[in-house]
Amino acid sequence: MIVVQLFLEFTLLSFVAFGGATALLPEMHRVVVDQQHWLDATTFTHLYAIAQAAPGPNVLVVTLIGWEIAGLAGALATTLAMCLPMSVLIYLLIDRWDSFAGRRWQQALSLGVAPLAVGLIFSGATLIAQAAGLGWCGGLLVVAIMVLNLRTRWHPLWFIAAGALLGLSGWL
Amino acid sequence: MDHPPNPQRPDLRALFLAFAAVGLSGFGGVLPFARRMLVEQRRWLSAEEFNAQLGLCQFLPGPNVVNLSIVVGKRFHGWRGAVVAPLGMLLAPMLIVLLLGMAYDRWGQLPLAQEMLRGIAAAGCALLFAMAWRMGTALRDKALFLPFTVLTVAAIAWLRWPLPAVMLGGLAAAGAVAWWRLGRP
């Protein structure tokens, strides 16, 4: 049963989703595209693009991946698997958290996980860039949007819209 | 800016609707919107409470905002709140994303759609690069910790090692360095 398999794979993934669903992109790509061959790299990139253009938490890319692989049951399975284990854990842990706060091991882990999360998000970005098959025009667009996003306070939706329009005009 | 606490406890309906509004307003991350709603608009949490609770939500793996909605839901209505708040945040955006998924199945193969999606993917990965840049420049003790970023990229993007092993090894090594660093004045 592919739905059960999806549920199990994404439950496993949820345990290493430090930095949220965005940091998990490379690993999802590895499992879904390279290992299980449930989707090809282009479709994976498209699903990421659709999730970016839609409102809602970043985790919804997981919903789309599940949908594309196994329909509604797949979408529910991946979403639930991604959210449920940590939800239960946080429900149980939150009342004790205050007593941990400030402990040295807790600070060390928070400090240590940050550079890894940066690396994961950077890796996800390179992966999407590769799979999108951008020419040098597309590469230029990526650099331009990155700089503009860092330098201005424009809403990210404008960049998404600009990307869509430039894509439609056949520039990329 | 000071935001006095809201004396009124939200009922389940209010929780659901408030988180639904947050879920629908965010593009590429809803955390800033969640903060604005919780701390500034509804004043269900003080700024310090928000930071403290977010600590655990970011410390644990998993979608941070979903974790946060569970914490807030539990605080006001126990397990019922912890079910209602994340549902409120996820249901409407899930529906939208599924409709888009259906549209993709129907028209995704058209050349025009492919071109458009490629443009959106380019913009999306640019936003990811920017996010990594922002997080990277915010790192403390860069000389000490940036090498771990580089190693993570090499292991994940280049060597394509499985994430659990990389995370386990990386967290042990980076955590040990952080432990050592914290012990020095």
pLDDT tens digits along A16-63: 888 788 889 999 999 999 999 999 999 999 999 999 889 999 899 999
Six token digits for residue A83: 């959210």
**Do residues A156 and B28 touch, judged by C-beta distance below 8 A?**
yes
Which residues in chain B come in under a pLDDT of 50? 1
In this prediction, residue B149 carries a pLDDT of 96
Question: Tokens 């403390």 label which residue?
Answer: B140
In this prediction, residue A119 carries a pLDDT of 94
In this prediction, residue B78 carries a pLDDT of 94
Six token digits for residue B98: 């599924």
Window 98-117 of B, Cβ < 8 Å to A: 98, 100-101, 104-105, 108, 112, 114-117
In this prediction, residue A111 carries a pLDDT of 87
In this prediction, residue B184 carries a pLDDT of 83
Window 38-77 of B, Cβ < 8 Å to A: 52-53, 55-67, 70-71, 74
pLDDT mean over A80-103? 86
The whole-chain average pLDDT of chain A stands at: 91
Q: How many CB pairs under 8 A join A and B?
A: 365
ipTM of predicted complex? 0.90
CB contacts of A151 in chain B (<8 Å) are none
B5 touches chain A (CB under 8 A): no
Residue B71 CB-density burial (10 A; 0-12 exposed, 13-18 middle, 19+ buried): buried
In this prediction, residue A47 carries a pLDDT of 96
Indicate whether A112 pLDDT > 70: yes
**Do residues B19 and B86 touch, judged by C-beta distance below 8 A?**
yes
In this prediction, residue B52 carries a pLDDT of 77
| Interacting residues of A142 by C-beta distance below 8 A, sequence separation 6+ | A129, A134, B122, B125, B126, B129
In this prediction, residue A50 carries a pLDDT of 94
Are B178 and A107 an interchain contact pair (Cβ–Cβ within 8 Å)? yes
B91 touches chain A (CB under 8 A): no
In this prediction, residue B28 carries a pLDDT of 62
**Do residues B97 and A65 touch, judged by C-beta distance below 8 A?**
no
Indicate whether A81 pLDDT > 90: yes
Question: Tokens 């993934």 label which residue?
Answer: A13
In this prediction, residue A32 carries a pLDDT of 96
Are A132 and B122 an interchain contact pair (Cβ–Cβ within 8 Å)? yes
CB contacts of A82 in chain B (<8 Å) are 62-63
In this prediction, residue A84 carries a pLDDT of 93
In this prediction, residue A58 carries a pLDDT of 87
Reported as a pLDDT band with limits 50, 70 and 90, residue A66 is: very high
Q: Considering only alpha carbons, which residue of chain A is nearest residue B19?
A: A56
Indicate whether A77 pLDDT > 80: yes
Indicate whether A101 pLDDT > 90: no
Are B167 and A16 an interchain contact pair (Cβ–Cβ within 8 Å)? yes
Instruction: Identify the residue among A94, A140, A172 best suited for mutation to test binding to B, counting B beta carbons within 10 A and taking the highest.
Output: A94
Name the packing angle between helices A104-132 and A136-151 (round to 10°). Answer: 140
Domain boundary assignment for chain A = 2-129, 134-172
In this prediction, residue A1 carries a pLDDT of 85
